[in-house]
Amino acid sequence: MLISSKPDRFKKILQQGGVIAYPTEAVFGLGCDPLNETAVMRLLALKQRSLDKGLILIASDFSQVADFLLPLNKQQENYTQASEITWIFPAKKNVPQWITGKFDTIAIRVTQHLIVKQLCQSFGSALISTSANLSGLEPAKTTQEVIAQFNHLLDGILDNKVGQLSKPTEIRDSVSGEIIRS
């Protein structure tokens, strides 16, 4: 397992279907290539998470996720900048179910976290992003906590600090404005 503070060291691991942990705005996330079904299924199994719940995509900029979405209305265009909010958008019909789960929408966050931005830029794509914890346990906030929960089941850990948020990002619906998770 690779443990490094350099985001560009994880490009090859992600390209080869690896699953990694990395710091986000509040907690460590688990991530992989969203278009690699085998990698996503492995991530779900490691986390003990149901496919039905759907997953978040995290990106360095909106262009990395635009192809997953139906055309945006004027209001939704306001939600395409980096922020500490995860927005739910209507997904195109061809978005894999292993990303959307039982929904016809997709959760997207354009991150403000510099290290995650660099990770997505290096990989050249958005990543799956779900909290780094086994179902029912608290999300990891340090590299040591990731190792404690996942031992050496991951392919890598991007060793850096989480952001300043005290809890995972708020999730809002881009159509209704409804807060799904505060």
- What is the pLDDT, as a whole number, of residue 136? 84
- What is the pLDDT, as a whole number, of residue 126? 98
Chain position carrying tokens 């209305």: 73
Expressed as residue numbers, the domain containing 9 is: 2-181
Residue 26 CA to its chain's centroid (Å): 12
- What is the pLDDT, as a whole number, of residue 150? 94
Domain CATH number, residue 101: 3.90.870.10
User: At 100, is the secondary structure helix, strand, or coil?
Assistant: helix
- What is the pLDDT, as a whole number, of residue 132? 96
The conformation of residue 135, written as its DSSP 8-state character, comes to T
- What is the pLDDT, as a whole number, of residue 122? 97
- What is the pLDDT, as a whole number, of residue 168? 84
Tell me the whole-structure pTM to 2 decimals: 0.94
What are the average pLDDT values for consecutive 10-residue runs of the chain, which has 182 residues? 96 98 96 98 94 96 97 95 95 97 97 96 97 91 96 95 90 93 86
What is the number of domains present in the chain? 1
Strand order across the 127-131 sheet = 2-4, 156-158, 20-23, 28-31, 127-131, 56-59, 105-110, 85-90, 170-173, 179-181
